[in-house]
Amino acid sequence: MSQSSFGNKFKVTTWGESHGKALGAVIDGCPAGLPLCEEDIQKFLDRRKPGQSRYTTARKEGDLVEILSGVFEGKTTGTPISLMVRNTDQRSRDYGNIAYSYRPGHADYTFDQKYGFRDYRGGGRSSGRETIGRVAAGAIASKILEELGISICTYTRSIGPVEIASFNKEEIHQNAFYMPDAQAAVKAGEYLEECMKNQDSAGGVIECRITGTPAGLGEPVFDKLSALLAHALMSIGAVKAVEIGDGIAVTSSNGSTDNDGFTVKDGEIIKTSNHAGGIMGGISDGSEIILRAHIKPTPSISQPQQTVTKDKEPLSLEIHGRHDPVIVPRAVVVVESMAAITLADALFVNMSSQMDKVRDFYRK
Amino acid sequence: MSQSSFGNKFKVTTWGESHGKALGAVIDGCPAGLPLCEEDIQKFLDRRKPGQSRYTTARKEGDLVEILSGVFEGKTTGTPISLMVRNTDQRSRDYGNIAYSYRPGHADYTFDQKYGFRDYRGGGRSSGRETIGRVAAGAIASKILEELGISICTYTRSIGPVEIASFNKEEIHQNAFYMPDAQAAVKAGEYLEECMKNQDSAGGVIECRITGTPAGLGEPVFDKLSALLAHALMSIGAVKAVEIGDGIAVTSSNGSTDNDGFTVKDGEIIKTSNHAGGIMGGISDGSEIILRAHIKPTPSISQPQQTVTKDKEPLSLEIHGRHDPVIVPRAVVVVESMAAITLADALFVNMSSQMDKVRDFYRK
Amino acid sequence: MSQSSFGNKFKVTTWGESHGKALGAVIDGCPAGLPLCEEDIQKFLDRRKPGQSRYTTARKEGDLVEILSGVFEGKTTGTPISLMVRNTDQRSRDYGNIAYSYRPGHADYTFDQKYGFRDYRGGGRSSGRETIGRVAAGAIASKILEELGISICTYTRSIGPVEIASFNKEEIHQNAFYMPDAQAAVKAGEYLEECMKNQDSAGGVIECRITGTPAGLGEPVFDKLSALLAHALMSIGAVKAVEIGDGIAVTSSNGSTDNDGFTVKDGEIIKTSNHAGGIMGGISDGSEIILRAHIKPTPSISQPQQTVTKDKEPLSLEIHGRHDPVIVPRAVVVVESMAAITLADALFVNMSSQMDKVRDFYRK
Amino acid sequence: MSQSSFGNKFKVTTWGESHGKALGAVIDGCPAGLPLCEEDIQKFLDRRKPGQSRYTTARKEGDLVEILSGVFEGKTTGTPISLMVRNTDQRSRDYGNIAYSYRPGHADYTFDQKYGFRDYRGGGRSSGRETIGRVAAGAIASKILEELGISICTYTRSIGPVEIASFNKEEIHQNAFYMPDAQAAVKAGEYLEECMKNQDSAGGVIECRITGTPAGLGEPVFDKLSALLAHALMSIGAVKAVEIGDGIAVTSSNGSTDNDGFTVKDGEIIKTSNHAGGIMGGISDGSEIILRAHIKPTPSISQPQQTVTKDKEPLSLEIHGRHDPVIVPRAVVVVESMAAITLADALFVNMSSQMDKVRDFYRK
């Protein structure tokens, strides 16, 4: 697991820059025999597509995915699946200040420090468009989870100060913010109008609930399922905090409250509560896995900002063009994708943890 | 990076169970020529040693480290460094209920689900004693950072509801809680007395500040420095949330506030604020790196708890023996160790990011 | 390093099937600032292109490479380089027997056993066309080596029983077999005519000599430079044996002969002989690195062969179409590419082996 | 897979120097529930122990293994297994010339070049004693293979010019050379007497045959089973060539001869020959896997050799003390161990290659 790859056995490698020829991903380690077509992936990509409401950028790109390898007669072959999305909006333009100055809140400065120079067009590799490869891979991971009866529900929990007060799953796909509370969605819209009027932007919280996970996923020490999920979510550009289960609330709780007891129901051992968010000692316990990613406000805002050029000249930078006042809604499917990829990988890694099961596997 | 190892180039593998013969770590990828002796490591281990105050367990183990390989004439040789701490408190005893029931808040149930059975003595591999290997490795990573002028300051930010109100670095090692605020430490003590009276336990927040880091560490996509640090911290048993910089506070901030501007001071480009916590686009920007780990209350409490046995019989479990009412103070050095290991690894992984620097390196 | 990737820091992932839409590679970990254009890669690909002599298949594919990411204004950016070659000869045809029977000497049976089914068109993923991705990546690795003054000379040492008797570097690119001996090339041609007349095929030996390598590359135990090179070469489909330096000849030699002594020349320590082939204890010693890959005869031959169908029916299989009677000449650039990739990776992995050098690197 | 570790899922990390405190290995990824005791490992270690005949060094070390973690109540727990062998022969002595000159045929020079200095006592990390960790791990891998009905037979095929002419499995453990031909063993002994008289040493060939392997192991491209085995074997210090199946002989064969046909016997598909050595397209085909490792003559010989000191002074070096005139017999168990480790790892990696089998695994 390093540089541009994620996962041990279900390994995702993404490539591509915002304004390069194309973006894509190679998925290595997908089992053979999974039914897969471009439509399965396109559905996921459409959830992150810009231009879906007045709160997301209007760039009208199709973001159409092409499967280049790894699928034969409608099923995966077990060999690497190469996915590509051509960039259609590649017309040459004047990047002006952006080419030689450092946008606050962006990776311009750190890329120059690390690499000596950078592809400044639209943020290059540090652009949110890089997540196209993740979401395409996430669609495949989700199909695997589905085959095993695991489902993921991801939604916006808050935008700026506006938090959901109720939960209606049906509502999630009914509003522009993917919020499970229609009233909160209305208030979030009002808050964003205010932000836009101020030439400003907002952040928010995305929550992810995973049901149907078998117990036993995750490794006991460094590769705890919780650690892998934190890695996965914190690798999304704008995420600044990650919580599992009760998260930060545990620090002011007590052991007697926070501990989840056990009981037996219908002949199965279950927990009497789920403060842990489905992961105990880093290993899934079979109950619902609960994650939260905290997203910072969009760094691109149109009001003037203080910065410097590469040559150390001060500059009052104004970023023109249309930018999302909040990226939270479009990031919902990115969070879901990273969670799905992490789970799929953990499922495969876990398969050799008991000698009896290994023996059964090969004796069949 | 998988199972019991962490890191790509500075790779740490830990091994050992709470009541096995010994615990230890193998550190692979430490450069040759670093001065190193057992005392360097012992100092770190002593910071996590039990029995240092009435709020930590009284188990009087020396936890003496032995360097078994990788050091010759006082310097590392570039080959694997094997470290071992013998368990001295290994006397056979009756584990009673614990051997066949599931302690709430512990990994007993998930280990049984994953592996089919478990070493139940003192939590086996899921015990806090596993961190001995991490801290021993962290001591070496810290020596490397020191050689490069990087320093880490780690302390307790809160215990239960008691948060620090001031910051005095000198104070950190003056109280049993590693808090930089003497008054808060007194209040924390009072709060813990209350918890102990109630046969209950508390959690808290650990904060880590890293200064002197060169810009350019971390990889742009999955292996963002922030993602690696989140992975590292969330891999510590009791951590349920991780924050970088302003963390969860960013979600209710605005872009105009959250963005860190740039200016020039003494001929160097610096940031005008540090909401990002020293990491932009996943890459270190040269300013202070700020992390917070949120720790849950100690799961072992002496009041009766509802659970079940392996055979699905209900049980009211009482956990006897002395347990820390809070693990936060002893976890401070564990957080510091994981941060140091992550940084050391990022330093080495980064060494080939510019062709010119590669050429210089080999042309010298 | 697993499944479809090779390398630790300079990591190559290939994808694609013989008759799928495209084949390609993602190169992750190439330093920023390396001048690179499509022409650099095309030159390498042209060396493995079919249809260059009457001893190679006539399939007239252009195999034109497209750089999709990772290069900006003529230089690598340090982010993943995605390369693609479209398959132009994708017309649907009748694969007849091949779709449901097992060709002797091919991977048909083992793919079916591993994956449950397979893409039978032209061998799918097990086709020699998979090496397109390797060669494209090898071209980039070679550019890196060139920048550091390292050069690789690869050629055919024997075809069937015909071995070179002299070495003229200029001759290598003057004959269809990449042999450094014009007379041997004539004899090899005669031998192949004989094979073709018999509807049969031949194997051969490829030798690779690498000069200019700095001492110190390779890791002392499992990742010896020799072990990595053996892995790299043996991962090429038809290779059945790999030798380093004197190779198999060492087994009948004696220590007094096989040991390379040391002496001083022009103030530098050099070896008095090079039986070791440039690698001592798994680490490069600065002298010429010498490798040999032994290639089996092309398995596709037109004479009838005994096999069975998936349904266990016996079948006398005749493979129609034109096939190379020997793949050795086209494999020369594949061997060179794998050697270059391995060296480039070893160079980057080695960069942190001395603490003093790490300090210099960051203190500059 | 890097530096001092080998394997993806069954990962072996070795540590230790010839004259350090101890040597050992950590085995990570061994499934839970495998019966294991120190005796299982000791048996393997005893096969590489010095002092077993007059052709091996007389150093009377017990090389007694201690299991430090990962085993509870006689069974593996699924957590890392830490193994240690104390060095008992650690008395301080005068290393004389060896400390500051470069022994021909050894890694002294390359270690100095890579690391700036080295542990010169007995070769340090590059000593054959490093293989203690491999053999201890190999014993565990072999137990896993045994549980799955896979067995490995390893023996000496030749010593110097003396090759076996017959094969009697019973004979292998009856002579000092592990040769399956009693007469050849006698001749080998005579040849070694001659070498010793000349203050010289010999090499040889080790062959390894693995039966009972399921079809489907190995990955199609870079991690072919053949490539992994070549990596494994070539990582043993003295190995200079590796062959699979017919190996180098294939280069002068023809396709019609080299191709293994298929037929059906007792309702099962089998091959009509096994030139491929059990691996087709990099994947096991279910027939016998055949490997050969070519071992160079012991570099330590007592006759004077030409070398230089660190300070570039010429030196006629005489290496005193007793050294094996041939290391082949003691390397037999090292080759077997590396093959077993590679197979065990491939077995676990293969478990997620078919979606149907993944589904069955989790639905049980």
Which chains have at least 3 CB atom pairs separated by less than 8 Å from chain A? B, C, D
Interface residue of B8, B27, B283, B355 to substitute, partner C, most C CBs within 10 Å:
B355
Torsion of CA D123, D126, D127, D129, to 10 degrees: 140
- Verify whether the Cβ–Cβ distance C69 to A16 is below 8 Å: yes
CA distance B205 to D41: 45
Residue B3 sits at the chain A interface (C-beta within 8 Å) = yes
Kindly state whether B29 is in contact with chain C, defined as any CB-CB distance less than 8 angstroms. Answer: yes
Annotated binding residue D299: yes
Cα D102 from Cα D80, distance rounded (Å): 38
Q: Average pLDDT over chain C, rounded to whole?
A: 93
- Listed in sequence order, the residues at least 6 apart from D248 whose beta carbon sits closer than 8 Å to its beta carbon are C205, C240, C241, C248, C294
Contact C358 B9 (CB under 8 A): no
Count CA atoms within 13 Å of residue C333 on its CB side: 26
**Which residues 53-112 of chain A have a CB within 8 Å of chain B?**
102, 104-107, 109-111
Interchain CB contact of B316 with A (< 8 Å): no
Q: Taking the C-alpha atoms of A95, A100, A104 and A105 in order, what is their torsion angle to the nearest 10 degrees?
A: 70
How far D6 CA sits from the closest chain C CA (Å)? 6
Give the integer Cα–Cα distance in Å for D222 and A53.
46
CB contact under 8 A, A31 and D355: yes
Query: How far apart (Å, rounded) are the C-alpha atoms in residues C45 and C29?
Result: 21
Q: What is the pLDDT of residue A1?
A: 42
Q: Is the pLDDT of residue A72 over 60?
A: yes
> Mutate which of C235, C260, C268, C298 to test chain D, going by most D C-beta atoms within 10 A?
C235
What pLDDT was estimated at residue D321?
Answer: 77
Give mean pLDDT, residues C42-56. 78
Chain D residue numbers with beta carbons less than 8 Å from the beta carbon of B66 are 21
Task: Determine the pLDDT at residue B95.
Answer: 77
The pLDDT score that the predictor gives to residue B98 is 83
Q: What share of chain B in percent tops pLDDT 70?
A: 95
Secondary structure letter of residue A308 according to DSSP: E
Closest of B3, B135, B112, B12 to residue B63, by C-alpha: B135
**Mean pLDDT within D62-88:** 95
The answer to whether residue B16 neighbours chain D at the CB level (below 8 Å) is: yes
Paired with D253 in beta bridges are: none
Residues A61 and A174 sit within 8 Å (Cβ to Cβ): no
Q: What are D158-198's pLDDT values in tens digits?
A: 999 999 999 999 999 999 999 999 999 999 999 999 999 99
Measured from the Cβ of residue D187, the count of other Cβ atoms closer than 10 Å reads: 18
DSSP secondary structure string for all residues of D89-144: -------GGGGTB--TTSSHHHHHHHHSS---GGGGGGSGGGHHHHHHHHHHHHHH
Distances (CA, A) of D238 to A177, C318, D52, D131, D357: 64, 45, 20, 12, 41
Q: Does B363 lie at the interface with A, CB-CB under 8 angstroms?
A: no
Residues in the annotated binding site of A for FMN: 125-127, 281, 296-300, 322
- For domain A5-363, give its CATH number from 1.25.40.10, 3.30.465.10, 3.60.150.10, 1.20.950.20: 3.60.150.10
Express each pLDDT in D97-106 by its tens digit: 888 999 999 9
Extract the annotated binding site of B.
48, 54, 125-127, 281, 296-300, 322
Q: What tokens were used for C88?
A: 């132009």
Of the pLDDT bands very low, low, confident and very high (cuts 50, 70, 90), residue D1 is very low
Q: What does the pLDDT read at residue A321?
A: 78
Does the annotation flag D209 for ligand binding? no
Q: What pLDDT score was predicted for residue A92?
A: 63
Q: How confident is the model at residue D361 (pLDDT cuts 50, 70, 90)?
A: very high
Distance of residue D43 Cα from the nearest chain B Cα, in angstroms: 22
Q: How many CB atoms lie within 10 A of CB C211?
A: 14
Residue A182 φ then ψ, to 5°: -60, -40
pLDDT of C61 > 90? The answer is no
B24: Cα within 13 Å, side-chain hemisphere: 29
Provide the annotated binding site of C: 48, 54, 125-127, 281, 296-300, 322
Q: Mutate which of D79, D283, D350, D362 to disrupt the A interface (most A C-beta within 10 Å)?
A: D362
Residue in B28, B33, B118 closest to D5 by CB: B28
Contact C184, C162 (CB under 8 A): yes
> Please, are residues B274 and B257 in contact by the beta-carbon 8 Å criterion?
no
Both tokens assigned to A143 = 């199909």
β A262-265/B151-159 pair status: unpaired
Q: Is D296 annotated as a binding-site member? A: yes
Secondary-structure percent of chain D, ordered helix, strand, coil, rounded to 5: 35, 25, 40
B358/C352 touch (CB, cutoff 8 Å), yes or no: no
- Name the burial class of residue C90, with classes exposed (0-12), middle (13-18) and buried (19+) by CB atoms within 10 angstroms of its CB: middle
The C-alpha atoms of residue B122 and residue B23 are separated, in whole angstroms, by: 13
Query: Nearest CA of chain C to the CA of B30: how many Å?
Result: 7
DSSP 3-state assignment of A342?
helix
Contact D191, D324 (CB under 8 A): no
Kindly determine whether residue C116 and residue D198, on different chains, have CB atoms separated by under 8 Å. no
User: By percentage, how much of chain C surpasses pLDDT 90?
Assistant: 88
Coil, helix or strand at residue C283: strand
3-class secondary-structure state, position C173:
helix
Residues of A in contact with D78 (CB under 8 A): 353-354
Mean pLDDT computed over A149-155:
98
Q: Are A17 and C72 in contact (CB < 8 Å)?
A: yes
With CB atoms and an 8 Å threshold, state whether A352 touches D353: no
Measure CB to CB from residue D280 to each of C14, C109, C300 and give the nearest one.
C109
User: Given a contact as 3+ CB pairs under 8 Å, which chains touch C?
Assistant: A, B, D
Model pLDDT for residues D255-314, shown as the tens digit of each residue: 999 999 999 999 999 999 999 999 999 999 999 999 999 999 999 999 999 999 999 999
CA C290 vs. chain centroid, Å, equals 14
User: In whole numbers, what is the pLDDT of chain B averaged over residues?
Assistant: 93
C356 contact B CB<8A: yes
Report the alpha-carbon distance of residue C86 to residue C302 in Å, rounded: 28
Q: Give CA–CA dist C88/C69, Å, rounded.
A: 22
D interface test, pick of B12, B18, B65, B68 with most D CB neighbours within 10 Å: B68
* Contact between B14 and B56 (Cβ < 8 Å): no
What's the token pair of residue B297? 């209350």
Report which of A59, A16, A12, A10 is spatially closest to residue A31, judged by C-alpha positions.
Answer: A10
Contact D344/C at CB under 8 A: no
Euclidean distance between CA atoms A263 and A258, whole angstroms:
16
Q: Using a CB-CB distance cutoff of 8 angstroms, which residues of chain D are in contact with residue A7? A: none
Q: Please report, rounded to a whole number, the percentage of residues in chain C having pLDDT higher than 70.
A: 95
Q: Going by C-beta distance under 8 Å and a sequence separation of 6 or more, which residues neighbour residue D213?
A: D150, D278, D284, D286, D289, D343
Cα-based distances in Å from B250 to A107, A206, B93, B247, D11:
17, 13, 50, 6, 41
**pLDDT at position D92 over 70:** no
Spans of chain B, pLDDT less than 70: 1-2, 50-61, 89-92, 364
Q: Which residue from B154, B167, B247, B158 is spatially nearest to B205, judged by alpha carbons?
A: B158
Residues 282-301 of D with CB under 8 A from C: 282-286, 294-301
- The CA distance from B109 to the nearest CA of chain D, in Å, is 14
- What's the pLDDT tens digit per position in D312-354? 999 999 888 778 899 999 999 999 999 999 999 999 999 999 9
Question: CB B77 to CB D118 under 8 A?
Answer: yes
**B146 inside 8 A of chain D by CB:** no
What is the Cα A323 distance to its own chain's centre?
Answer: 19
Cα atoms in the Cβ-side hemisphere of radius 13 Å centred on D132: 29
D347 touches chain A (CB under 8 A): yes
Do residues B31 and C358 make contact, with C-beta atoms less than 8 angstroms apart? yes
Nearest chain B residue to D68 by CA distance is B21
Residue D79 contacts residue D70 (beta carbons within 8 Å):
yes
The pLDDT confidence band at residue C176, using thresholds 50, 70 and 90, is very high
* 3-class DSSP state of D303: coil
Inform me whether the C-beta atom of residue C119 falls under 8 Å from chain D C-beta atoms.
Answer: no
The 10s digit of each residue's pLDDT in C195-219 is: 999 999 999 999 999 999 999 999 9
User: In the numeric block, which tokens belong to residue D320?
Assistant: 């005193």
Could A243 and B245 be called an inter-chain contact, meaning their C-beta atoms sit closer than 8 Å? Answer: no
HEC-encoded secondary structure of D17-55: CCCCCEEEEEEECCCECCECCHHHHHHHHHHHCCCCCCC
CATH of domain D96-363: 3.60.150.10
pLDDT, averaged across chain D:
94
Q: Which helix (H) or strand (E) holds A242?
A: strand A239-244
List the Cα angle B196/B202/B203 in 5-degree steps.
160
Show me where the domains of chain C are located.
5-363
